């Protein structure tokens, strides 16, 4: 049950598979604090956890060990089978799509688009923070999703916390104001899935039989470029955890950082934390 005056969090999940702990970890802290959590997916379809993230015997190739405990596997299965994720917000039906420049009556359509985006921003005022959950799925339907970018930009313009984990950090690099097209993390300190953690083979997704070798892009390289000369990507390879807070952004490197990411979101919201991890 949500507490009186509890925070409200919007959580975006991929429809092509999220990594269980990267949802379970932050949710642990949100639920503990009595926050209201609302889920959203690109097309309103129910999200599901990637099978390896529910299997404690699965050995993560780059790390050479299991990254899922029995407890986390159980918690992931519980939420994956519950009704909690059954009816997410349909982002495609909520956030408008920017018209093509070749569209007939483009100017009027662009004006209508901006009016609709402003209305979405007003609706987002009821939320206190945004979380984008990681896993391989975001590579497919979140990274270059302009509707997701608009949600991110609305939180940014409102000065509200924006958290992202693992490959869920990619949309932060690609979310850009249409005028200057500079990444919103330019000059910021962030973390995200480091090169050493990338699979060499077997990057898979739900809802498709397409299994590729390594990810289609090394997120670390994108984040290094997107943060520019005055920002910095922190891989912290060799350290057990890597979570960076450079307000308004809270970024977690990968699966082992999930609980800490949630903890830092709470500290940002309740204790005024503005910098951590660098």
Condensed to tens digits (0 to 9), the pLDDT of residues 37-52 reads 999 999 999 999 999 9
Determine the pLDDT at residue 183: 96
- 182, 151 in Cβ contact below 8 A? no
Determine the pLDDT at residue 196: 94
Determine the pLDDT at residue 2: 47
Calpha distance 257→30 (Å, rounded): 15
Determine the pLDDT at residue 260: 98
* Nearest of 207, 193, 188 to residue 254 by alpha carbon: 193
Mean pLDDT, rounded, for 171-197: 96
**Tokens representing residue 225 in the block:** 């470029």
Determine the pLDDT at residue 198: 94
State what percent of residues in the chain have pLDDT above 90.
96
Mean pLDDT, rounded, for 209-237: 96
**Positive or negative CA dihedral for 42, 257, 222, 50?**
negative
Provide the 10 A C-beta neighbour count for residue 224.
Answer: 18
Mean pLDDT, rounded, for 225-247: 96
Mean pLDDT, rounded, for 190-197: 96
pLDDT band at 274 (very low <50, low <70, confident <90, very high): very high
What angle, rounded to 10 degrees, do the helices at 146-157 and 106-123 form? Answer: 60
Alpha carbon of residue 182 to chain centroid: 19
State what percent of residues in the chain have pLDDT above 70.
98
pLDDT band at 4 (very low <50, low <70, confident <90, very high): low
Determine the pLDDT at residue 1: 47
Question: In the predicted model, what is the mean pLDDT of the chain?
Answer: 96
pLDDT band at 3 (very low <50, low <70, confident <90, very high): low
Calpha distance 16→206 (Å, rounded): 5
Mean pLDDT, rounded, for 173-177: 96
Q: For residue 104, is pLDDT > 80?
A: yes
Calpha distance 131→26 (Å, rounded): 9
Helix (H, G, I), strand (E, B) or coil at 246: strand
Mean pLDDT, rounded, for 20-27: 98
Calpha distance 197→126 (Å, rounded): 36
Measured torsion, CA atoms of residues 217, 219, 225, 229, in degrees rounded to the nearest 10: -160
Determine the pLDDT at residue 67: 93
Determine the pLDDT at residue 50: 97
pLDDT band at 62 (very low <50, low <70, confident <90, very high): very high
* Nearest of 136, 124, 127, 126 to residue 13 by alpha carbon: 136
**Tokens representing residue 108 in the block:** 């009027």
């Amino acid at each position: 049950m949500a507490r009186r005056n509890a925070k409200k969090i919007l959580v975006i999940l991929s429809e092509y598979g999220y990594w269980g702990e990267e949802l379970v970890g932050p949710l642990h802290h949100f639920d503990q604090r009595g926050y209201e959590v609302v889920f959203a997916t690109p097309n309103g379809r129910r999200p599901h956890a990637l099978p390896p993230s529910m299997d404690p015997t699965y050995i993560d190739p780059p790390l050479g060990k299991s990254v899922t405990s029995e407890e986390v596997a159980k918690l992931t299965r519980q939420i994956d089978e519950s009704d909690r994720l059954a009816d997410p917000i349909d982002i495609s039906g909520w956030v408008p799509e920017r018209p093509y420049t070749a569209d007939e009556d483009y100017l009027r359509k662009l004006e209508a688009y901006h009016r609709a985006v402003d209305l979405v921003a007003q609706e987002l005022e009821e939320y206190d923070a945004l979380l984008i959950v990681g896993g391989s799925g975001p590579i497919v339907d979140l990274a270059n999703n302009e509707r997701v970018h608009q949600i991110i930009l609305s939180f940014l313009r409102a000065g509200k916390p924006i958290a992202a984990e693992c490959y869920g950090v990619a949309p932060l690099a690609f979310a850009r104001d249409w005028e200057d097209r500079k990444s919103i993390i330019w000059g910021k300190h962030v973390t995200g899935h480091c090169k050493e953690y990338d699979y060499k083979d077997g990057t898979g997704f739900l809802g498709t039989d397409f299994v590729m070798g390594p990810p289609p892009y090394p997120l670390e390289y994108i984040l290094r470029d997107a943060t520019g000369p005055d920002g910095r990507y922190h891989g912290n390879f060799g350290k057990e955890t890597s979570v960076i807070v450079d307000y308004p952004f809270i970024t977690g490197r990968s699966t082992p950082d999930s609980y800490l990411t949630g903890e830092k979101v709470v500290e940002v919201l309740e204790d005024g934390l503005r910098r951590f991890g660098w």
